[in-house]
Amino acid sequence: MNIEYIKNFVKLAEYKSFSKLAKDLPITQSTLSHQISQLEKSLDLVLINRTTKKFELTEAGKIFLKYAREILNSYNSCLNELLYYKNNKLEDIIISASTIPGSHILPKFLADFKNKNEFINFKILVNNSQESIENLIKGLVDFAAVGSFMNFEKDLFEFFELGQEQFHFICSPTHELIKGGKEIVSFDELIKYPFIWREKGSGIRNTFQEQFPAYEKLKIELEINDNDSIISTVSDSNYLSVMSDIMAKKAEKAGLIKILKVKEYPIVARRKLFFLRLKERELSFLKNKFWNYLREELRNKNKN
């Protein structure tokens, strides 16, 4: 059934005249008559009583008119919705992020941008810094949020700063090192205990090695690629580890670990966190809009 024929049938029922309607349509009266005949043929029913001089719908015509109007209403609603979708098409923005930016910095910005742009769907892949940059270079993601550029050339990317943080040594709340309410320990005491650190490719590990050469004296016995698992292990053992400021303070507040103050190293290491895109890759309108939004929000936050 041709939708144009249905439209003209509904108009004909309103005009009640082939000749009058044909004058207002870009078709001839004979073409209009042919369209109605085709509708009747497809339904195998007579819609208009042609035995009288007065325009009159048959009973079948009256029934069809009722549903024809509903069909046209649904058709128009469908077109409007499709047009809206076409102009506001749902788009995925995929970000590969290391733990701190992916789990603790970006989420509130993603939620805010999503609230203002309903046709955006964010996908966050939590990986270490090396994997995140590799994903970006391979074209598997649109952006990367990392704590270190590792060995990659910075010139490959456009980037801006997400934030800064420092590292702390951590231990169990009941660890021997802090028994009796001891608040400050020496590095010589610390290196007597087993140590856990992150896997190769981790931004934390990379920064720690670069800025804290004394790490070689640590009694490294475990390598774990997940901060939550490190916290859990430290919490229930005599193991020590190093952790970013954000994670360490949250875990300490929850009573899971204790931040160690080391006499010789009041600050263990510092690092900046970055948000990256590839220079050579063009971004869609919405992805570019998100990039500019995030950069501007962080600028305003830093001003305040």
Domain ranges of the chain: 3-87, 91-163+272-303, 165-271
117 burial level (CB within 10 Å; 0-12, 13-18, 19+): middle
CATH class of the structural domain 165-271 = alpha beta
Half-sphere exposure of 10 (CA within 13 A, CB side): 14
Task: State pLDDT tens for residues 233-288.
Answer: 999 999 999 999 999 999 999 999 999 999 999 889 999 999 999 999 999 888 99
CA pair distance 203, 130, nearest whole angstrom: 7
Q: pLDDT value at position 304?
A: 66
Domain 3-87 matches domain 165-271 at the CATH topology level: no
Lowest mean pLDDT among 88-92, 200-204, 247-251: 88-92
Quote the CA–CA distance of 62 and 143 in Å, as a whole number.
59
Q: What six digits make up the tokens of 182?
A: 């001891």
- Residues of the chain with pLDDT > 90, as a percent, come to 81
269 CB neighbour count, 10 Å cutoff: 19
Q: What is the pLDDT of residue 218?
A: 96
Tell me which CATH code domain 3-87 carries: 1.10.10.10
172 contacts: CB under 8 Å, gap ≥ 6 = 234, 235, 236, 237, 238, 239, 257, 258
Class of the domain covering 91-163+272-303:
alpha beta
pLDDT by residue (tens digit) across 48-73?
998 878 899 999 999 999 999 999 99
Name the average pLDDT for the chain: 92
Which residues, listed in sequence order, are joined to residue 125 by a DSSP beta bridge?
A: 96
On whether the pTM is more than 0.85, the answer is no
pLDDT tens figures, 21-33? 999 998 999 999 9
Say what percent of the chain tops pLDDT 70. 99
The predicted structure's pLDDT at residue 53: 81
